[in-house]
Chain A
Amino acid sequence: MVDLLISGIIYGSIITLGAIGLTLMSDILNFFNFAYGDFFTLGAFCTLAFIGFLPDLGTFSHLSFGWSMVIAIILSIGVTVLIMLFFDYLFFKRLRDLGVTSLFMSLASLGVSFVIRAIINIIWGPKVRYYSTTIQISKTLPFGIRMKPDEMVILLCAFILVFSIFYYLRQTKMGKAMRAVSDNKILAQASGIDNKHVIMWTWIISGVLAAVAGTFYGIQVQLSPTMGWNFLIPLFVAVIMGGVGSFWGALLGGMTIGIAEELITGLIQNTFTLMEIQANISVYKPAVAFVFVIIILLLKPYGILGKKKG
Chain B
Amino acid sequence: MVNYISSYLVMACIYAIMALALNLQWGFTGLMNFGIGTFYMVGAYTSAILTSMPSSEHLGGFELPVVVGIIGAAGMAGVIAYLLSFPALKLRGGPFAIALLAIQETLFLVVKNESWLTNGVWGIRSIPRPFFGLVNPQHFVYFYLLIAAAVLILTYFAIEKAINSPWGRVLRGIREDEPLTSISGKDCFNYRVQSFVFSSMVMGIAGALYVHYTGFVSPQVFSPLMSTFIVWLMVMVGGTGNNKGVILGAFLVWAVWIGSDFLTDFVPASVATQIGFIRMFFVGAILGVMILMKPQGILMQKLLTIGLFREEETP
- A210, CB-defined interface residue at 8 Å: no
Residue on A nearest B306 in the bound complex, by CB: A101
Given A108-B287, A115-B284: A101 and B99 interface contact (C-beta under 8 Å): no
Nearest-neighbour CB distance to chain B for A235, whole angstroms, equals 10
- B135, CB-defined interface residue at 8 Å: no
Given A100-B291, A101-B308, A108-B288: A290 and B94 interface contact (C-beta under 8 Å): no
Nearest-neighbour CB distance to chain B for A121, whole angstroms, equals 4
Q: Is A103 a contact partner of B93 (Cβ separation < 8 A)?
A: yes
Given A107-B232, A283-B113, A293-B98: A101 and B311 interface contact (C-beta under 8 Å): yes
Interface centre among A111, A112, A290 (most CB of B within 10 A): A111
Which of A50-58, A90-98, A129-137 forms contacts with chain B? A90-98
- A45, CB-defined interface residue at 8 Å: no
CA distance A116 to B106 in the complex (A): 24
Q: Is B105 a contact partner of A286 (Cβ separation < 8 A)?
A: yes
- A59, CB-defined interface residue at 8 Å: no
Residue on B nearest A288 in the bound complex, by CB: B106
Bitwise, B283-315 to A at CB < 8 A (1) or not (0) is 111111101100100000000000111110110
Given A98-B310, A101-B308: A115 and B94 interface contact (C-beta under 8 Å): no
Which of A78-86, A174-182, A211-219, A294-302 forms contacts with chain B? A294-302
Given A99-B310, A103-B93, A118-B281: A233 and B102 interface contact (C-beta under 8 Å): yes
Majority SS of interface residues in chain A? Answer: helix
Given A121-B277, A122-B281: A111 and B287 interface contact (C-beta under 8 Å): yes
Q: Is A104 a contact partner of B105 (Cβ separation < 8 A)?
A: no
Residues of chain A with a CB closer than 8 A to B103's CB: 290
Count the A residues whose beta carbon is within 8 Å of the partner chain — how many?
Answer: 46
CA distance A115 to B308 in the complex (A): 24
Q: Is A297 a contact partner of B90 (Cβ separation < 8 A)?
A: yes
Residues of chain A with a CB closer than 8 A to B311's CB: 99-101
Q: Is A290 a contact partner of B106 (Cβ separation < 8 A)?
A: yes
Nearest-neighbour CB distance to chain B for A217, whole angstroms, equals 18
Q: Is B109 a contact partner of A286 (Cβ separation < 8 A)?
A: yes
Q: Is A111 a contact partner of B291 (Cβ separation < 8 A)?
A: yes
Q: Is B308 a contact partner of A104 (Cβ separation < 8 A)?
A: yes
Q: Is A301 a contact partner of B90 (Cβ separation < 8 A)?
A: yes
- A113, CB-defined interface residue at 8 Å: yes
- A119, CB-defined interface residue at 8 Å: yes
Residues of chain A with a CB closer than 8 A to B95's CB: 32, 240, 297
Given A99-B313, A297-B90: A114 and B283 interface contact (C-beta under 8 Å): yes
- B67, CB-defined interface residue at 8 Å: no
Residue on B nearest A117 in the bound complex, by CB: B280
- B184, CB-defined interface residue at 8 Å: no
CA distance A186 to B236 in the complex (A): 31
Q: Is A104 a contact partner of B291 (Cβ separation < 8 A)?
A: yes
CA distance A78 to B77 in the complex (A): 47
Taking A101-B309, A290-B99, A297-B95 as known contacts, 18 extra A-B pairs with beta carbons closer than 8 A to each other, sorted by chain A number, are A31-B94, A94-B292, A100-B310, A103-B93, A106-B93, A107-B32, A107-B287, A112-B288, A114-B283, A114-B284, A117-B280, A118-B284, A122-B274, A240-B98, A290-B106, A293-B102, A298-B87, A298-B90
Q: Mind listing 22 A-B residue pairs with CB under 8 Å?
A: A32-B93, A32-B95, A91-B288, A91-B292, A95-B292, A101-B310, A101-B311, A103-B308, A107-B232, A107-B291, A110-B232, A111-B286, A111-B289, A116-B284, A122-B278, A237-B98, A283-B112, A286-B105, A290-B102, A290-B105, A293-B102, A294-B87
In the A-B complex, the 9 residue pairs with the closest CB atoms = A114-B284, A32-B94, A111-B287, A111-B288, A118-B281, A290-B102, A115-B284, A118-B280, A121-B277
Interface residues of B (CB under 8 A from A): 30, 32, 34, 87-88, 90-91, 93-95, 97-99, 101-103, 105-106, 109, 112-113, 225, 229, 232, 236, 274, 277-278, 280-281, 283-289, 291-292, 295, 307-311, 313-314
